[in-house]
Amino acid sequence: MSLEAIIHGTFIDAPTARSLRVRENVFVVVTNNGVIGQICTDESHIREEFKGLRIIRLAKTQVIVPGLVDLHIHAPQFKQLGTKTDIPLMEWLQKYTFPAESAFSSSAHASNIYPKLLSHLLKNGTTTAVLYGSNHLSATKILAESCHKAGIRAFVGKTCADMLTPDYYVETTEGSLKDTEEFVKWCYEKWGSGKEGKVRPVVTPRFIPTCSKELLKGLGDIAQKYDCFVQSHAAESVDEEALVESQHSGRRDVEIYQESGLLGNKTILAHCCRLKDSEAGVMEKVGATVVSCPWSNILFARATVPIPYYNSTFPNLKIGLGTDIAGGFGTMLDNMRTAILQDRIDSFATVDRSSTSTDLDIKKENWTVDFKYAFHLATASGAKALGMEDMIGTFEEGMRFDALQLDLGLDGENGEDGRAMRFTRFGNESVEELFEKWVTTGDDRNVVRVWVDGVDVLSS
Ligand code: GUN
Ligand code: FE
């Protein structure tokens, strides 16, 4: 059931990388179908049709912000979150990750693990999740159904891999294509093929090294036939890059996706740490998205995505954030912070990326990823990557109410339900400063309510 109420208090969103919008004392009407019916500053301006709805009045230190958009998660890796990240990517896949994912041949295992992942995501403020499933059709259906049940907005893909994957986990080319097409049709039948569908299918080649040319081409055909999103990995790390170039006579990820019909304005490519500028230019031109996964990128690839450089050089290149669970073990908050930190390193090299100069005076205009920018990436920018900037990511009339209620320290300094807060409130901070403290030092204890489409998904 949607909230169907008027919330009176402070709403914060970040429509652009440099503009944090703090609206205090506003009235926001959430209708019975989860849409923002009206936003106004004066109670007497509430339209006739909404008068009579109950008014929820927030305390001074409670704010409402858009839910977070996590563009890259490996659902079947959740159980190993926070462990087993001691070896490079290609070895890590063989030693830990393929065995962990192959366990999802058991539906019972999927039914046990997936709801736990979704409650972890919601509790930490993620309201839209783009998810890799395992190679299995039935477990991926369980993932999609679990998303529907949890009430999260989700993009779900059955992972595809027909080579360079151990025998116990590899698929045949035909099987992978057949299962993908069935999964897409099954999702469309259940939740519709439009933007309104709460669970949407994603064509998911794992990455170039584990997919034959026939598989990539077949997946490209399916993506075009059903007009659906594509997710994959690109230019992640030195070892992955070298492997692709050796398999494809020196050719690289982006051009291979493009010639397979997998690169368009519904394509989201995780990592992209080692993109060449010409490839970023191609992605910008076709409308594809770079998903920066700052925590995982540093951990696995010892690399970063130069976000402000891309924003200034390729202004229409879509960029969002992802956790890459479980290659990255951070939450979206952790990844926002890591995006801020990584920028301090990137900014040395963003004017001339091959430069080793440490002349801060020349480069300081690039020191731009602050808490506002990071929050924009995690909300409005992620929404844009999904073509949903008119639905989620900020608060405007007519948009969906996907939102978090943050409790930034009541007067007693404890949260609404008495849980200790991670940061101390001194009492004289502005609401913007309290919000900044949440982005930089807060955690899930500050997230007291989570709504998707106006439905309270934490307590329901
Ligand atoms: N490349 C192919 N598979 C994976 C994966 O599971 N995690 C990461 N980080 N990169 C990949
Ligand atoms: Fe990944």
Ligand 1 center to 405 CA (angstroms): 33
Mean pLDDT of 81-99: 94
Which protein residues are within 6 Å of ligand 1, measured from CB? 74, 89, 93, 97, 206-207, 233, 236, 296, 300, 324, 327
Ligand 2 center to 54 CA (angstroms): 44
Whether 154 and 191 have beta carbons less than 8 Å apart is answered as no
Mean pLDDT of 187-203: 97
Ligand 1 center to 153 CA (angstroms): 23
Q: Is the pLDDT score of 251 beyond 50? A: yes
ipTM above 0.95, yes or no: yes
pLDDT of the residue at 60:
83
pLDDT of the residue at 419:
58
- Nearest-atom index, ligand 1, CA of 207: 2
Ligand 2 center to 435 CA (angstroms): 29
pLDDT of the residue at 129:
98
Mutation probe of ligand 1 site: the residue of 70, 72, 73, 74 with most atoms within 8 A of C-beta: 74
pLDDT tens digits for 156-187?
A: 999 999 999 999 999 999 999 999 999 999 99
Higher model confidence: residue 68 or residue 350?
68
* CA 257 to each of CA 63, 79, 236: distance values in angstroms, whole numbers, following the listed order: 42, 30, 14
Q: 230: closest CA among 217, 212, 246, 242?
A: 217
Residue 341, CA atoms < 13 Å, CB-side half-sphere: 14
pLDDT of the residue at 417:
52
Ligand 2 center to 232 CA (angstroms): 8
**Max CA-CA distance within the chain?**
68
Mean pLDDT of 359-367: 47
pLDDT of the residue at 418:
52
- Nearest-atom index, ligand 1, CA of 209: 2
Whether 205 and 171 have beta carbons less than 8 Å apart is answered as no
Which ligand ends up closest to the CA of 300?
Answer: 1
Ligand 1 center to 185 CA (angstroms): 26
Tokens at residue 159, please?
A: 């992972």
Beta-carbon contacts of residue 399 (< 8 Å; ≥ 6 apart) = 35, 36, 390, 391, 392
Distance, in Å, from the CA atom of 276 to the CA atom of 106, rounded to the nearest integer, reads 41
pLDDT tens digits for 118-156?
A: 999 999 999 999 999 999 999 999 999 999 999 999 999
- Nearest-atom index, ligand 1, CA of 210: 2
Q: 34: closest CA among 401, 449, 394?
A: 401
pLDDT of the residue at 412:
46
pLDDT of the residue at 361:
42
What domains are defined for the chain? 5-66+395-456 (2.30.40.10), 68-385 (3.20.20.140)
Beta-carbon contacts of residue 175 (< 8 Å; ≥ 6 apart) = none
Q: Is the pLDDT score of 309 beyond 60? A: yes
First to last CA, the chain: 9
Q: How confident is the model at residue 360 (pLDDT cuts 50, 70, 90)?
A: very low
pLDDT tens digits for 15-73?
A: 999 899 999 999 999 999 999 999 999 999 999 999 999 999 998 889 999 999 999 99
Q: 301: closest CA among 391, 374, 236?
A: 236
pLDDT of the residue at 312:
85
The strand pairing partners of 55, in sequence order, are 6
Mutation probe of ligand 1 site: the residue of 85, 89, 237, 305 with most atoms within 8 A of C-beta: 89
pLDDT of the residue at 351:
47
Distance, in Å, from the CA atom of 380 to the CA atom of 391, rounded to the nearest integer, reads 10
Which ligand ends up closest to the CA of 270?
Answer: 2
pLDDT of the residue at 344:
80
pLDDT of the residue at 187:
98
Q: How confident is the model at residue 451 (pLDDT cuts 50, 70, 90)?
A: very high
- Only one residue has tokens 């563009």, namely 71
Atom 3, ligand 1: residue with shortest CA distance: 206
pLDDT of the residue at 426:
78
CA 397 from centroid of its chain's CA atoms: 23
Least confident piece of the model among 76-85, 202-211, 410-419: 410-419
Distance, in Å, from the CA atom of 268 to the CA atom of 157, rounded to the nearest integer, reads 12
